[in-house]
Structure 1
């Protein structure tokens, strides 16, 4: 892996923005389907001149809304991201910047366990206000703390 070109901080930010937009479209599309079916996921209210939408916390007749809410907000994005990483070695955002995720030791495909550890590291980094992501800009191999924990690299393909 001598001639490996590592993907830097700003390219990874661009990839993440693309992924966030795409996953948000999927999530909001699903919410719209449930809302159109009469489940009343969101309540519209006006505060002065602005209109706000808020999750109403009510239960639908078929499925408990909090369970659906948890699935759509947490499990679905995790499943999408992990599936992309596992089957494509990248998310759509990473593909847009011509990047792939590889095993740091072999340069080959990471194991599914590595990808799960990487995702958990992503979540922890997010909880810590994204500060651990800054390490990508400092590290010589451009590894974030989630990459170090999982033993992965993000490289140009």
Structure 2
């Protein structure tokens, strides 16, 4: 097979698998009504939380990369090993934080944001993982999936609509 076919297959697996799984798992779930004291969080507050989380991940990634270079001096795991390590660190930070009892990353805690499902319950690790791998789909076409947060009724991006998650004020 040609390289173009392999690129298409990898592209479909990376950007298509999580949204398809989410669609089939969560398509029959209904949203409940918002309690009186809660409100949906908009684009700019979520953007600020994202900037804080990105800064934290850059610092953690730099420190871990430096420690790995010191401990495993002159060891080469092959091309792409740094990329895979970055995905694992990022996945564990976001998914484990979103599915924890706090329902938020450090940046989200600073902005008083909490992530929940359509019934305002804590999301599972599986749903957090599907949301994490659906997020690149929001940014693939000029970030339109992220900009949707400012224009939808429940302040949801494309990845939130796919996995039926909400961001609410604590």
TM-score bucket of the superposed structures, by smaller chain: 0.7 to 0.9
Q: Secondary structure at the match of 1:5?
A: coil
Distance 1:125 1:112 in 2: 20
Aligned residues: 135
* Structure 1 residues 33 and 7: CA distance shift in structure 2, 3 A: same
Scaled by the length of structure 1, the TM-score of the pair is: 0.77
Q: Which residue of 2 aligns with 1:145?
A: 158
Distance 2:123 2:85 in 1: 26
Which aligned segments of 4 or more residues in structure 1 are displaced greater than 6 angstroms? none
Q: 1:118 aligns with which of 115, 131, 134?
A: 131
Q: Which residue of 2 aligns with 1:94?
A: 108
Q: Which has the higher contact order (CA 8 A, sep 6+)?
A: 2
Which consecutive unaligned segments of at least 5 residues does structure 2 have? 1-33
Which consecutive unaligned segments of at least 5 residues does structure 1 have? 40-59
Do the aligned partners of 2:116 and 2:167 also contact (CA within 8 Å) in 1? yes
- Higher-Rg member (1/2): 1
Distance 1:150 1:130 in 2: 18
Scaled by the length of structure 2, the TM-score of the pair is: 0.72
Q: Secondary structure at the match of 1:153?
A: strand
Q: Shift in Å at residue 126 of structure 1?
A: 3.2
